[in-house]
């Protein structure tokens, strides 16, 4: 998978001019895996969109987890619970491979240097932030049931709380191995061997062959031209870009840019969402239940040269499979739950999608929606105005099936309606997934104490037309 000290690209890995946005993405992702282990980490996978300012090329890096070779369509027939928790729910992790592939193409700084901040955090200490503390609290049963999680997040038999210090020495050692030896250590070396042993000792099916077989998929980003912008996102297995395109084109057909304003605009948006979810059934979308997959992180990076990265990384649920590999310190994903299972047909769900049934080496579909937004504008070059497609924004989000609707609402509220960025992020959002036929709207107090709630005018309007 390449020498971490000698990238294939011709650039000096210790470029004195500074790093690329991808260098920052590698460092950011590795740190997030330490301080936000409930949501992401090297035991999971992700999607990354990279736009190069020098070539104007936009690439999509798919490091989504894959099903092990021993996985099968009916493997959960006797116990559906093991699809979402425990060692049988673990897919082959892809994050390290994806980061390294992007770094080989765009990185300028030494691979090993990019892991130094994360190694320090894991080895020395970091403070438990309120969001992590909340995740620990609601995941108490998971943490207390798993020796690895228990050791890190309840070291004295009591759950860590906000402001407490946390260490993960084994994870620090793992990150050092990856920093010094590259992904080879993870997929065909000591780290991979430790992960496989821990998983198999607990009754899992992961093998070193699974680890060695993992490959990142690199492709051109999917481009959508709508409302005067070019939106660049992930092709399948992400259903996010396709869904976003469908909703925006439906709304754009109203012809006026104020179509999204007020209660009527909200109603139109909800109807477009319902249509999107109906279409996604034919795409074989993996999950139709109420939202459970909180284990996701997203970040956006733009460097001084206007290179851009939009990346969503995940272990699926909070603390993934509820398994922390004790010999590596890695929280392992439960991405196998993103596949459809023939017997998983209950209550408020559409029928399982055969297109998303489990097969060895297969990637499950995903709602993750990292996007980069360009806008055509006239640029003065010498004495001539030239039409150029310039970087306008980078967006993404976390929250499972709510990601795509949230990204769409952020796009509309900022780029079309004109709200300021912070106002857009804090603006209350709505959600509808078709089945059950119920509108969900935000009405909650966030960790910093701010209360977010839909305007009463909008709630009253929706009650007359929708089930809320």
Of the candidates 240, 129, 195, the one whose C-alpha atom is nearest the C-alpha of residue 333 is 195
Please check if 323 is assigned to a binding site.
Answer: no
| Bridge partners, residue 63, by sequence | 46
Q: Collect all residues with Cβ–Cβ distance below 8 Å to 324 and sequence separation of at least 6.
A: 146, 148, 149, 151, 152, 330, 331, 332
Please check if 400 is assigned to a binding site.
Answer: yes
How large is the C-alpha radius of gyration of the chain?
22
SS3 165: strand
Q: Annotated catalytic residue: which of 29, 296, 313, 328?
A: 296
Please check if 367 is assigned to a binding site.
Answer: yes
Please check if 438 is assigned to a binding site.
Answer: no
Please check if 64 is assigned to a binding site.
Answer: yes
Distances (CA, A) of 150 to 136, 319, 397: 10, 12, 29
DSSP for 309-333 reads EEEEEEEESTTTTTEEETTTTEEEP
Please check if 134 is assigned to a binding site.
Answer: no
d(CA 276, CA 188): 41
d(CA 420, CA 7): 40
- In the residue annotation, 29 being an active-site residue is answered as no
Is the preceding peptide bond at 32 cis, omega within 30 degrees of 0? no
DSSP for 248-276 reads HHHHHTT-STTTTSHHHHHHHHHHHHHHH
Number of neighbours of residue 163 by Cβ within 10 angstroms: 10
Please check if 92 is assigned to a binding site.
Answer: no
Please check if 329 is assigned to a binding site.
Answer: no
d(CA 239, CA 80): 24
Of the candidates 208, 241, 193, 200, the one whose C-alpha atom is nearest the C-alpha of residue 372 is 241
Work out whether the CA dihedral 85, 89, 93, 94 comes out positive or negative.
negative
| Catalytically annotated residues | 296
Report the binding-site residues for L-glutamate.
Answer: 64, 314-316, 338, 366-367, 400
């Amino acid at each position: 998978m390449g020498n971490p000290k000698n990238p294939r690209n011709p650039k000096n890995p210790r470029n004195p001019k500074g790093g690329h946005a991808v260098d920052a993405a590698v460092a950011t992702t590795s740190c997030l895996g330490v301080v936000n282990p409930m949501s992401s980490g090297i035991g999971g996978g992700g999607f990354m969109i990279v736009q190069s300012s020098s070539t104007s090329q936009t690439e999509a890096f798919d490091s989504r987890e894959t099903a092990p070779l021993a996985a099968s369509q009916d493997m959960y027939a006797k116990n559906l619970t093991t699809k979402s928790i425990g060692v049988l729910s673990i897919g082959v992790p892809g994050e390290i491979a994806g980061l390294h592939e992007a770094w080989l193409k765009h990185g300028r700084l030494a691979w090993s240097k990019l892991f130094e901040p994360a190694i320090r955090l894991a080895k020395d200490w970091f403070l438990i932030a309120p969001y992590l503390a909340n995740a620990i609290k609601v995941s108490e049963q998971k943490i207390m049931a798993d020796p690895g999680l228990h050791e890190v997040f309840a070291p004295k038999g009591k759950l860590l709380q906000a402001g407490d210090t946390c260490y993960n020495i084994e994870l620090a050692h793992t990150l050092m191995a990856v920093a010094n030896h590259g992904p080879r250590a993870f997929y065909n070396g000591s780290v991979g061997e430790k992960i496989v042993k821990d998983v198999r000792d607990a009754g899992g099916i992961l093998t070193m062959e699974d680890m060695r077989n993992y490959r990142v998929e690199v492709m051109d980003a999917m481009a959508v031209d709508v409302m005067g912008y070019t939106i660049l996102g992930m092709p399948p297995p992400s259903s996010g870009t396709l869904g976003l395109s469908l909703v925006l084109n439906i709304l754009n057909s109203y012809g006026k840019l104020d179509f999204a304003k007020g209660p009527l605009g909200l109603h139109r948006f909800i109807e477009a969402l319902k249509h999107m979810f109906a279409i996604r059934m034919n795409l074989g979308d993996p999950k139709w239940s109420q939202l459970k997959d909180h284990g996701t992180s997203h970040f956006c990076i733009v460097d001084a040269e206007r290179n851009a990265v939009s990346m969503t990384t995940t272990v699926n649920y909070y603390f993934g499979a509820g398994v922390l590999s004790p010999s590596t310190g890695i929280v392992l994903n439960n991405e196998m739950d993103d596949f459809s299972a023939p017997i998983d047909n209950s209550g408020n769900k559409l029928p399982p999608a055969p297109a998303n049934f489990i097969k060895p080496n297969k990637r499950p579909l995903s709602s993750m929606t990292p996007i980069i937004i360009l806008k055509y504008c006239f640029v003065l070059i010498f004495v001539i105005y030239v039409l150029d497609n310039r970087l306008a924004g980078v967006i993404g989000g976390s929250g499972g099936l709510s990601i795509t609707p949230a990204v769409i609402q952020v796009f509309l509220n900022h780029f079309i309606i004109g709200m300021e960025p912070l106002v857009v992020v804090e603006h209350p959002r709505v959600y509808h997934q078709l089945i059950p036929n119920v509108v969900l709207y935000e009405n909650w107090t966030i960790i910093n104490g701010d209360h977010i709630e839909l305007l009463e005018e909008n709630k009253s309007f929706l009650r007359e037309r929708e089930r809320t």
